[in-house]
Amino acid sequence: MEEDEQRIWRRCEEEQQRLERSGVLLEDPQLEVYLQEVVCRLASCDPGGLVTFEVHVIRNPYLNAFAYPNGVLYVHTGFLSTIDNEGQLATILAHEMAHVTQRHAVRQFRDVKNKAAFFATLQVAAGSVGFGDLAGLMGQFGVMAAVTGYSRELEAEADVLGYERMVDAGYDPREAVEVFTFLEEELKAEERKEPFFFGTHPRVQERRENFVSLYRRSETGGSRGHVGGDQYRLAVRGATLDNAFLNLAIGRFDLAERDLDKYIRIAGEDGRTCFARGELCRQRPERCDVEEALSQYKKCLTYDPSYADAYKKLGWIYQQRGEDEIAGRFLADYLKILPDAPDKAFVQQALEEIEKRGGQ
């Protein structure tokens, strides 16, 4: 390995350590084992390969995946919870693996004469798509891999090689095309010109057509190949629930609902899903009756009587409805469970007001 490539690898390792310390990685050892199995299946198509791949998951609700030149791949919870099966996952991972095996980062880096200006441009571009903050965390090579993408030629090369890799590994080639359906939906929902994944060039529609054409050329008499829906959904269920809460926090309610539905279909209802449903209802009064929110919070407590936030939400709703006695009971229960809750002053204020009204 030449000196500049060694430097790039060292920089990448530093960027990855920063990501690991940042707390943005999802801790789900079972999921990582599963992802590693998929990568191994894809890598076995290239037994002479020199790179050892590993995959980690980033808690981020937007559709993205990226790879560092040293073979460390990252995929967002947003992508995992959106796609439907292992074939689609293999499409994404194989594309990223192609960037690694073809040393795209090094090639692009060497092609740029004024490197300082190039990286400055990358950071500005990252900011302009609303990704600037995470971009700062990832560092320069992460930004290139995750946000701005590679040149049109390098992305096209990753498309072809990634596609061949996933087909050689026995996955259903039709699933490769399906990934673009999700990317197009994300474009519409977020009103972005381009999603992050697969870079900015060529455009998503053009990329979809490329994949359709690759599929047609490689058609093998209708044999489908591996799709892996059930196993996939089971493996990503935790990431899907996590992503539901991420979407809920930033007001992407429809996507939060989709994530919840997917999780419940696999893992069933529990305290967290009921709480999340209650939150969805409460925060979308135009779409949901407050009675439904109350019912979901109460159901949450039947699954998990120690779910403090459910007591608090119930308390606030009853207080707003003027049902002081019930409100007071729930808010007091909240403080019983969390006597040092960071928002106890709000709760205590409400309890004092309730008491005052009761004494009048």
Partner 1 sequence: MILRLSALVLLLASCAVIPWQEVEGEYRSKQDEYVVVLPQGWMRANRQDFTLVTRDGALLQNILIIRHKIGEPLPLSKKALSEQMTIQEVADVLFESFQADQNVLDCELLEKRPSDLGGIAGLRIDFTFKNRDELPMRSVAYGCISESWLYVMRYTAASRYYFERDLPVFEKAVATFRVL
Q: What does the alpha-carbon distance between residue 103 and residue 108 come to, in Å, rounded to a whole number? A: 9
Site string for partner 1, 225-264 (x = CB under 8 A): ------------------------xxxxx-----------
Q: Which of 49, 118, 130, 338 binds partner 1 (CB under 8 A)?
A: 130
Least distance (Å) from partner 1 to the CB of residue 209?
31
Token pair of 147 as six digits:
């946000």
Task: Provide DSSP, 16-39.
Answer: HHHHHHTT-B---HHHHHHHHHHH
Q: What does the alpha-carbon distance between residue 144 and residue 122 come to, in Å, rounded to a whole number? A: 7
Q: Which of 320, 356, 357, 358 binds partner 1 (CB under 8 A)?
A: 320
Least distance (Å) from partner 1 to the CB of residue 179?
24
Least distance (Å) from partner 1 to the CB of residue 280?
12
Q: Which of 22, 44, 121, 306 binds partner 1 (CB under 8 A)?
A: 22
Look at strands 72-76 and 65-67 and give their pairing.
antiparallel
Q: Tell me the residue ranges of DSSP E strands in the chain.
A: 54-58, 65-67, 72-76
Looking at the Cβ atoms of 24 and 73, the one nearer to partner 1 is 24
Please enumerate in sequence order all residues whose Cβ is within 8 A of that of 274, keeping only pairs 6 or more positions apart, or say none: 296, 297, 299, 300, 303, 310
Nearest to 140 by CA among 163, 162, 158, 117: 117
Among the residue ranges 21-29, 45-53, 79-87, 192-200, the one whose residues contact partner 1 (CB under 8 A):
21-29
Token pair of 170 as six digits:
């026995």
Distances, alpha carbon 7 to alpha carbons 101, 106, 110, in Å: 17, 10, 12
Longest CA span, the chain: 82
Site string for partner 1, 52-71 (x = CB under 8 A): --------x-----------
Least distance (Å) from partner 1 to the CB of residue 147?
12
Among the residue ranges 43-51, 97-105, 133-141, 235-243, the one whose residues contact partner 1 (CB under 8 A):
133-141
Nearest to 179 by CA among 55, 75, 72, 51: 75
Mapping DSSP to helix (H, G, I), strand (E, B) and coil, where does residue 171 land? Answer: strand
Q: Which of 49, 127, 225, 271 binds partner 1 (CB under 8 A)?
A: 127
Site string for partner 1, 331-360 (x = CB under 8 A): -----------xx-xx--x-----------
Mapping DSSP to helix (H, G, I), strand (E, B) and coil, where does residue 267 land? Answer: helix
Least distance (Å) from partner 1 to the CB of residue 249?
5
Size of interface with partner 1, in residues (CB under 8 A) = 26
Least distance (Å) from partner 1 to the CB of residue 191?
11
Place of tokens 């089971």: 234
Task: Determine, following the binding rule CB under 8 A, whether residue 289 of this chain makes contact with partner 1.
Answer: no
271 contacts 300 by C-beta, under 8 angstroms: yes
Task: Determine, following the binding rule CB under 8 A, whether residue 105 of this chain makes contact with partner 1.
Answer: no
Binding residues vs partner 1 (CB under 8 A) = 18, 21-24, 60, 127, 130, 132-134, 136-137, 249-253, 283, 316, 320, 342-343, 345-346, 349
